Chain A
Amino acid sequence: MLANFDFDVIRRSLGYLFFDGMTFTLMLTGLATVGGIIWGTLIAMMRLSGVWGLPRIAQLYVDLMRSLPLVLVIFWFYFLVPYIGQWLTGASRPVRVGAFESSLLTFTLFEAAYYAEIMRAGIQSISRGQPAAASALGLTYWQTMRYVVLPQAFRNMLPVLLTQTIVLFQDTSLVYVLSITDFLGAASKVAQRDGRLVEMYLFAALVYFVISSIASFGVRRLQARIAIVR
């Protein structure tokens, strides 16, 4: 059976797969992780704040994002963002937003809901005496967060945050619905063009598997190291 397969198609398309596809996937993963953690941390702070109404709004946001299928959100944003842009800027017609910007915004906002829950657990893991000590020294709320609470919360939660990023790395493949050339999109295009579906999808699966496994292994090593430091 294997005789009918042409694995040379992989070799021939390596440049396209990795330089075009994987670069996009990694860039989207990286930027959405950074954006998602920043936005997620702000949501977590809102959720834990004593300011009237803010915790409710944050919770609503998290619940909403977590109860919608990601593909749906990707679609929605792709079609809605131009209109939101028009509304925000007061332009006469919908603002043109590139597929990359649209998907980056989607993943940032979507993943922020998950990162928010992780950061919330992280902030709550810090004993109340820490912010009290920081306040007693005269640090403001923002300084206390920036220099005392968040660095500790972030360090405690680093393995979980990275694990979520591995999930995000796999999830980015869903941008294929926007016909974007991410890694899976690139593999898919070659597969259809050359009629080599089995080979290309097998190879794509292998690549995702290898990268995710190595990353998971790295996270486990890191976890062991953090456990010793504490």
Chain B
Amino acid sequence: MIEISHVDKWYGTAFQALKDCTTSVAKGEVVVVCGPSGSGKSTLIKCVNALEPFQKGTITVDGISVGDPRTNLPKLRSRVGMVFQHFELFPHLRIIDNLCLAQEKVLGRSHAEAMAKGSKLLDRVGLKDHAQKYPAQLSGGQQQRVAIARALAMDPIAMLFDEPTSALDPEMISEVLDVMIDLARDGMTMMVVTHEMGFARKVANRVIFMDQGEIVEDAQKEEFFNKPRSERAQKFLSKILSH
């Protein structure tokens, strides 16, 4: 589904954010990307739907090359859902309109169709009663669930999560993770940048560990948690799991 092959990315000329990154996400697979901050994991996931440009290598999504200048990027992006660390709901629109906007303007659905789909998804994330509110009236956890519903409204072939729980108060993390776990068990193809190792243990198929712009470890979940090959991954795990 997502093929990342020998991707290099520089910020300016001095700082290389990604170094020769190669990996893939198969259809229906859940891949968790972890690593210390500044390791390039967010940058990598943003390259997948071309929110960040990259200079070398190729990324294809469902057979379509992301870096190709002839690719219709808006169309490609509309098929890949993305959830951001800071939710990024549109504050001037009601919750239901947040869900309808792209359905109508990008997919060309009628307002009635978009509303029906939006209501159904709000119900799925347990926020049906909040449809008429504005984002600022919801808690962080609720906003992030709306953001997930907004992405799902586009009927994506894959979902990208960029640290979806990092900006949340601890008591709200599980409500968001529950929605994500539910989604994973439904067979959604997911690439998730997160530090939530509990989530990784529960639903991930593979875990990718990044450090300093490199993919240091790319392993099946059991292998990654039980006996990580690299020293850097071992250190990272011991720090993150020790408490």
Contacts and interface: CB of A to CB of B under 8 A. Distances in A.
Interface of A: 127, 129-130, 132-140, 143, 147-148, 151-152, 155, 230
Contact of A136 (B49, B89, B90, B92): B49
Given A138-B75, A138-B154, A140-B74, A133 B88 contact: yes
A136 B82 contact: yes
B74 A151 contact: no
Contacts of A147: 90, 101, 105
A132 B51 contact: yes
A185 B113 CA distance: 57
Given A132-B51, A136-B82, A138-B154, A152 B92 contact: yes
A155 B92 contact: yes
A139 B92 contact: no
Interface string B121-163: 0000000000000001000000000000011001000000000
Contact of A152 (B78, B91, B102): B91
B86 interface: yes
Given A139-B105, A147-B101, A132 B88 contact: yes
A137 B74 CA distance: 8
Given A129-B88, A148-B90, A137 B78 contact: yes
A132 B88 CA distance: 9
Contacts of A129: 84, 86, 88
Contact of B101 (A130, A136, A137, A140): A137
A152 B135 CA distance: 14
Contacts of B107: 138
Contacts of B81: 136
A137 B106 CA distance: 8
A73 to B, nearest CB: 35
B77 interface: yes
Contacts of A130: 88, 90
Nearest to B91: A152
A143 B101 CA distance: 10
Q: Which 3 A-B pairs have the closest CB atoms?
A: A138-B78, A133-B88, A137-B102
Contacts of A127: 86, 88
Interface of B: 49, 51, 73-82, 84, 86, 88-92, 101-102, 105-107, 136, 150-151, 154
Contacts, number: 66
B47 to A, nearest CB: 13
Contact of A143 (B49, B105, B136): B105
A133 B102 CA distance: 11
A135 B74 contact: yes
Nearest to A149: B90
A137 B92 contact: no
Nearest to A137: B102
A219 to B, nearest CB: 20
26 contacts: A127-B88, A129-B84, A129-B88, A130-B90, A132-B84, A134-B102, A135-B51, A135-B77, A136-B49, A136-B51, A136-B77, A136-B81, A136-B151, A137-B78, A137-B102, A137-B150, A138-B76, A138-B77, A138-B154, A139-B74, A139-B101, A139-B105, A139-B106, A147-B90, A147-B105, A152-B91
A130 B93 CA distance: 12
Taking each of A127, A133, A139, A151, which has the highest tally of chain B beta carbons within 10 Å of its own beta carbon?
A133
A66 B29 CA distance: 58
B130 to A, nearest CB: 18
Nearest to A230: B136
Given A127-B88, A148-B101, 17 more contacts: A132-B84, A133-B84, A133-B89, A135-B51, A135-B74, A136-B51, A136-B77, A137-B101, A137-B151, A138-B77, A138-B154, A139-B106, A140-B74, A143-B105, A143-B106, A148-B90, A155-B92
